[in-house]
Amino acid sequence: MKFSILTLFPEVIEAYVSASIVGRARQKGVVSIEAINFRDFSTDVHRKVDDSPFGGGSGMVLTCQPLESAYESLLPLQQPARVLMTTPTGRRFDHRFALELSEAQHVVLFCGHYEGFDERIKTLIPEMEEVSIGDYVLTGGELPALSIVDAVTRLLPGAVQKFTSVEADSFYDGLLDYPHFTRPAEYKGLKVPEVLLSGNHAAIEQWRKAQALERTRRLRPDLLES
C-alpha cells in the first residue's frame, strides 16, 4: 500500500511517519509513504499556491494549478486507488472508513490550508472524496492526513506485531476496548481484578467481553444502536 500526501509542510509529515509503529511498518515495506510539496509544482514565478477569494472575504484559497499538476505527476495511480482531500465539510473518518481505505493499493491525500481549496478542484479531479476527522476546524490538513495514515497503516497485515491486538482494539468489533492492567498486581493498594491473575483463559475472555459491553453501554450507547 502506498500513501502520497500532497502538502505545503512535508517536514511535518516526515517527522511523524518516521517514528514508532508507522515508521517500522515503513521500514518493513508494509507501507510506502511519500510527502510531496505541491508548491514545487506551481508555475507562478513566486511559487504561489493561493490567492484571495473571489467575492471578497477573509483568508486565502488554494489555487487549482499546483494541486492538479502535483496530482498529474503521480499518475497512473496503483489500482485500486482512493483520492482524498481534507476538509471539515467532508465525510467523517471512522473505523469503517479506515477499513475501506486499507483495501486500496494507493491512497492520495490532499492537505488543505487557509480557507481551503478552490471548489473547481473537485471537477478537475472527479475521483476526489472529501474527508473530515471531526466537527472542529484545524488550521491545516496535515493532522487529519496523519490520523488517516496512522489508522489505516495499523490495519495492514504485518504493521502491528500481533494482529490479535488490532482485532481486540476499540471499534474493531463495534465495541470499546476492555480495560488493561500490567505489573505490579498491587500498586499503592490498588489491585488488579482477580480474574486476570487466575490463569483461567475462558473466564478472562468472558470478563473482558462483559467489560467491553458494559463500557460501551455506559460511555458510547450510540455504538450499540448502530
By CB under 6 A, is residue 138 in contact with ligand 6GU? yes
Calculate helix-pair angle for 20-27, 142-153, nearest 10 degrees: 60
By CB under 6 A, is residue 112 in contact with ligand 6GU? yes
Q: Which residue has the CB atom at the shortest distance from ligand 6GU?
A: 86
Give 185's contacts (C-beta < 8 A, 6+ positions apart). 191, 192, 197
Strand partners, 186: 191
Name the DSSP class of 181. -
Tell me if residue 115 is catalytic. yes
Q: Compose the 139-168 pattern: x for residues touching ligand 6GU by CB under 6 A, - for all others.
A: -xx--x------------------------
Nearer to ligand 6GU, 66 or 112 (CB): 112
> From start to end of 55-188, where are the E strands?
61-62, 81-92, 106-110, 128-132, 186-187
Nearer to ligand 6GU, 23 or 140 (CB): 140
Nearer to ligand 6GU, 110 or 178 (CB): 110
* Strand 81-92, strand 32-37: pairing: unpaired
What is the rounded CA–CA span in Å between residue 159 and residue 153?
A: 7
Sole window of 11-19, 56-64, 125-133, 209-217 interacting with ligand 6GU (rule: CB under 6 A): 125-133
Tell me if residue 88 is catalytic. yes
Which residues are designated catalytic? 88, 115, 154, 169
Residues that bind ligand 6GU (CB under 6 A): 86-88, 90, 112, 131-134, 136-138, 140-141, 144
